[in-house]
Amino acid sequence: MNATRPGELFARLQQSIPDPGTELRYRSRFQLLIAVILSAQATDLSVNRATRPLFRAAGTPKAIHDLGVTGLKKYIRAIGLYNTKAENIIKTCAILLKDHSGRVPRERSALEALPGVGRKTANVVLNTAFGEPTIAVDTHIFRVANRTGLAKGRTVLQVEQGLLRATPKPYLKSAHHLLILHGRYTCRARNPLCAECPIADLCEFPGKTT
C-alpha cells in the first residue's frame, strides 16, 4: 500500500464510523474481560444475551466465583465451548481475587497469565478498558488488513505487527474497532459491500465490484 494511503484510509473509516467501540455490553473492566473471554468463537450478540442476566446476578469477581462452575454454566450454556469457558472464568476470578485485589491488571503478562486469556483477548482489554494502542486481530481484521493491503500476512501475529507499523499514530487507539466494525458490516467474508465501501478505491481486493 502506498505510504500516503493508510492515513486516508483511516480518515475515511473514522468518518463512516464516527463513534467506534465494542458491541459487547459491560459496566466494568472486569465485566469486559469476562465478555471477551466468552466471545471466543461466539458472536457479540450471543454473549450479550448471556451476560445480561449473568452480570445482573453476579457482576464482580467474587460473585461469579461464588457461582462456581456449575452455577456459571447455567448462564452461558448457549455459548460455544461453555464448559471450558466456565472453568477458565472461575479460575480467572480466583486469581483476580488472590493476586490483584479483584481488579483487572493492566500489564500484558498478568493478563495473559489468566486462564482463557490469550494475546487477542489481552489486546482487546488493553485497548478497550485502558486505552492502550493495541490491535486485536480477529477474523474480521485479518480479512480487512489483507484485502486492503494495509497489512498483509499469513498469521495473526504478522498482521498485528504490520498494522501497528502501518497505522498512523492518531488512529492507533481506534484502529481496532474501526477495522473490526468495517469488516463485520461492510467488508464481509461473503458478499462484501464494495459498492458502499468508503475505502473501495484504496483497496487491493481483486474481487471488489467497484
pLDDT tens digits for 28-52? 999 999 999 999 999 999 999 999 9
Q: The domain that contains 161 carries what CATH number?
A: 1.10.1670.10
Which residues, in sequence order, are CB contacts of 59 under 8 Å at separation 6+? Answer: 27, 28, 30, 31
Higher pLDDT among residues 1 and 17, named by residue: 17
- How high is the mean pLDDT of the chain? 95
Query: Is 19 one of the annotated active-site residues of the chain?
Result: no
| Catalytic residue from among 138, 169, 173, 201 | 138
- Answer yes or no: do 105 and 179 share one domain: no
The per-residue pLDDT for 2 is 58
Q: Say which residues have a Cβ less than 8 Å from residue 111's Cβ, sequence separation at least 6.
A: 104, 105, 117, 121, 122, 125, 126
Which cell numbers in the block locate residue 4?
Answer: 500516503
Do 70 and 56 belong together in one domain?
yes
Q: At what angle do helices 139-148 and 175-185 cross, to 10 degrees?
A: 90
Same domain, 37 and 49: yes
pLDDT at 94 over 70: yes
Residue 60 lies in a domain: yes
- Indicate whether 39 and 104 sit together in one domain: yes
| Domain stops at, among 98, 130, 162 | 130
- As a whole number of angstroms, the distance between CA 132 and CA 145 comes to 20
Share of the chain above pLDDT 90, in %: 94
Please indicate, yes or no, whether residues 120 and 36 belong to a single structural domain of this protein: yes
Distance in angstroms (rounded) separating the CA atoms of residues 206 and 20:
27
* 202 touches 5 (CB < 8 A): yes
pTM: 0.92
Residue 201 among the catalytic residues: no
Q: Higher confidence at residue 90 or residue 210?
A: 90
Residue 79's Cβ-count burial label (10 Å; 0-12, 13-18, 19+) is: buried
Whether the per-residue pLDDT at 76 is higher than 60: the answer is yes
How far apart CA 71 and CA 132 sit, in angstroms, is 34
pLDDT at 147 over 90: yes
Q: Which of 44, 120, 201, 208 is catalytic?
A: 120
Alpha-helical segments (H) within 41-81: 44-57, 61-76
What is the residue range of 13's domain?
5-19+134-202
Instruction: State whether 89 and 139 are in the same domain.
Output: no
Query: Same domain, yes or no, for 124 and 155?
Result: no
- With H, G, I as helix, E, B as strand and everything else as coil, classify residue 77: coil
pLDDT value at 1 more than 70: no
Q: Reply yes or no on whether the pLDDT at 207 is more than 80.
A: no
Torsion sign over Cα 16, 22, 26, 27:
negative
Provide the number of structural domains found in the chain. Answer: 2
| pLDDT over 70 at 209, yes or no | no
Per-residue pLDDT, 197 = 96
Residue 206's pLDDT band (cuts 50, 70, 90): confident
